[in-house]
């Protein structure tokens, strides 16, 4: 996971946030560094609402990153959320950001490979992945492990970037990869087929590409405002490096050209 860790200066980042928010920050103030996915914090709030309606209580966040979704979930009473990420530096940052958040509890975190989840069978009633499969070269192994640790009747909720309808190659670099060596986007139809073959029941699949593109264009306008950037106490550049504007621009063009798409998918382990 050198792609994510090479730009991270965790202590410096946390010091800046402590200085900017001496009384603690809320989820919206931390969003530039812990909601690093298309749709931002609103996309995470949508996932939280979904999980709440499903009645989920024991949730595993696979690819939890810097922890924005985890902190939103733990704001709801009665939820027990575990975060798993292969990048240990992300887990360190996640823990540090929880200490800055005004209300977040100490997160339950595990550094491990999602192809071999260190949990017993049927440990969770919901699994969530937010822009996680795109960095995983063996999605079949990950989804088989996901089925194993999910209880009967439990749900898998995905918010993912996938291959778009255009045959054009992706423009690189993008936020999740410098080249196709680190990018592992799924084809939506193939993902549905894989889930079914493993034993999942696909309940719903939504294409959120238009919303994601509109969001990215709004963000682009903010990021091109130099006075706003100078005053901002937090920025994705602190995690994705000085090349973030180019990565974000390529993300927008890839979405606009249909080279990538954004989906939200809900599946269930049958009873």
What per-residue confidence (pLDDT) applies to 235? 84
Predicted local distance difference test score (pLDDT) of residue 227: 66
What pLDDT does 226 receive? 66
Say what the pLDDT of residue 228 is.
Answer: 66
Contacts of 37 (CB under 8 A, 6+ apart): 43, 44, 130, 131, 159
Provide the mean pLDDT of the chain.
93
Q: DSSP string spanning 30-73?
A: HHHHH--STTHHHHHHHHHHHHHHHT--EEEEET-TT-HHHHHH
Q: What pTM was computed for the model?
A: 0.94
Residue 213 host element (H or E): helix 209-223
Q: Is pLDDT of 263 > 70?
A: yes
CB atoms within 10 A of CB 51: 24
Q: Is 171 helix (H, G, I), strand (E, B) or coil?
A: coil
Total number of domains in the chain? 1
Whose tokens are 């298309």? That residue is 38
Of 12-16, 48-52, 115-119, least confident by mean pLDDT is 12-16
Q: Does position 1 have pLDDT exceeding 70, yes or no?
A: no
pLDDT score of 224 more than 90: no
Write down the residue that tokens 């291959």 correspond to.
Answer: 163
Domain that holds residue 137: 2-163+173-268
Using alpha carbons, select from 102, 126, 107 the residue that is nearest to residue 28: 102
Does residue 168 fall inside a structural domain? no
What are 127-137's pLDDT values in tens digits? 999 999 999 99
Q: For tokens 């924005």, what's the residue?
A: 68
Residue 248 structure tokens: 């974000």
pLDDT at 157: 98
Residue 231 has pLDDT above 90, yes or no: no
pLDDT at 158 over 70: yes
Q: Which of 115, 68, 59 is nearest to 90 (CA)?
A: 68
Mean per-residue pLDDT, 150-169: 97
**Which of 128, 110, 118 is closest to 72 using CA atoms?**
128
CATH of the domain at 261: 3.40.50.150
Helices (H), 107-187: 139-149
In order of 31, 136, 202, the CA distances from 150 in angstroms are 29, 19, 15
* pLDDT in the model for residue 229: 64
Residue 223 lies in a domain: yes
Q: Does residue 103 form part of some domain?
A: yes
Kindly state whether residue 139 falls inside one of the protein's structural domains: yes
pLDDT-derived band at 233 (thresholds 50, 70, 90) equals confident
Tens-digit pLDDT profile for residues 94-104? 999 999 999 88
């Amino acid at each position: 996971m050198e792609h994510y860790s090479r730009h991270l200066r965790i202590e410096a980042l946390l010091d800046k946030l402590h200085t900017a928010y001496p009384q603690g920050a809320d989820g919206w103030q931390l969003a530039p560094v812990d909601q690093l996915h298309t749709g931002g914090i609103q996309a995470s709030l949508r996932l939280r609402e979904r999980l709440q309606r499903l009645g989920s209580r024991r949730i595993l966040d696979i690819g939890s990153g810097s922890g924005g979704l985890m902190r939103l979930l733990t704001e709801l009473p009665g939820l027990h959320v575990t975060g798993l990420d292969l990048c240990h530096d992300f887990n360190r940052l996640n823990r540090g950001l929880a200490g800055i958040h005004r209300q977040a509890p100490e997160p339950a975190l595990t550094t491990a490979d999602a192809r071999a989840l260190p949990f017993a069978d049927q440990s969770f009633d919901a699994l969530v992945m937010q822009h996680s499969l795109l960095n995983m070269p063996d999605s079949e192994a990950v989804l088989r492990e996901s089925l194993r640790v999910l209880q009967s009747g439990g749900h898998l909720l995905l918010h993912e970037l996938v291959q778009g309808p255009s045959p054009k190659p992706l423009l690189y670099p993008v936020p999740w990869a410098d080249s196709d060596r680190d990018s592992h986007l799924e084809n939506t139809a193939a993902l549905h087929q894989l889930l079914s073959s493993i034993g999942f029941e696909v309940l719903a699949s939504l294409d959120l590409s238009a919303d994601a593109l509109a969001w990215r264009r709004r963000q682009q306008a903010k990021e091109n405002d130099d006075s706003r950037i100078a005053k901002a106490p937090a920025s994705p550049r602190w995690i994705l490096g000085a090349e973030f504007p180019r990565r974000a621009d390529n993300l927008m063009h890839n979405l606009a050209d249909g080279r990538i798409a954004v989906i939200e998918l809900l599946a269930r382990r049958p009873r």
